[in-house]
Amino acid sequence: MQQQNSLQNYRAKRDFKKTREPAGQKRQSGRGAIFVIQKHQARNLHYDFRLEIDGVLKSWAVPKEPSLNPAVKRLAIAVEDHPLDYADFSGTIPQGEYGAGTVAIWDRGTFANLRKGISLAKTLQEGQIEIDLQGQRLHGGYVLHRIREKPKELWLLIKMKE
């Protein structure tokens, strides 16, 4: 499981004198739950999938573009929590810094928990997140399903059948 707190790992990896990424704090967006997907051209191109849960952006690195096809499973590697403010970040991370390269917002919007009677935090803990995404590119039901806990948490991101 990811540590409950949180932003320590995020901050430890970055020098905020050198990168324009936000140091941020734990806070709610106040817009319901938000999600963002950032296309990150680092050493390897990937898509950072982030969901607002309990005041931070829970984050996964998805090596291939998220799919609209329910038959396609995308690997999603759990990474450190990011601050809510990261949802607005795009631009360049300087050479030599963690994640050096370019970040572009690929999609963003709000989402709803489709599992009734259970909190998002609990679905994260259980390794079975079911959400309805309302973005520009991605709409409708998606599942994040944990397939491995150690040494790295691996999940699958899958579009639900309509």
Pick between residue 8 and residue 28 the one whose CB is nearest to Mn ion: 8
In the complex, the smallest distance separating the C-beta of residue 114 from Mn ion, rounded to whole angstroms, is: 26
In the complex, the smallest distance separating the C-beta of residue 42 from Mn ion, rounded to whole angstroms, is: 6
Q: Pick out residues in 113-132 that bind Mn ion (CB under 5 A).
A: none
In the complex, the smallest distance separating the C-beta of residue 59 from Mn ion, rounded to whole angstroms, is: 8
Per rule CB under 5 A, is residue 58 in the interface with Mn ion? Answer: no
For 138, other C-beta atoms within 10 Å of its C-beta total 20
Query: Which stretches does DSSP call E strand in the chain?
Result: 33-41, 45-53, 56-62, 73-83, 91-93, 101-113, 128-134, 139-148, 154-159
Write each residue from 24 to 53 as x if it is in contact with Mn ion (CB under 5 A), else as -, in one continuous string. Answer: ----------------x-------x-----
CA distances from 76 to 5, 91, 95 (A): 20, 23, 25
Q: Which residues bind Mn ion (CB under 5 A)?
A: 40, 48
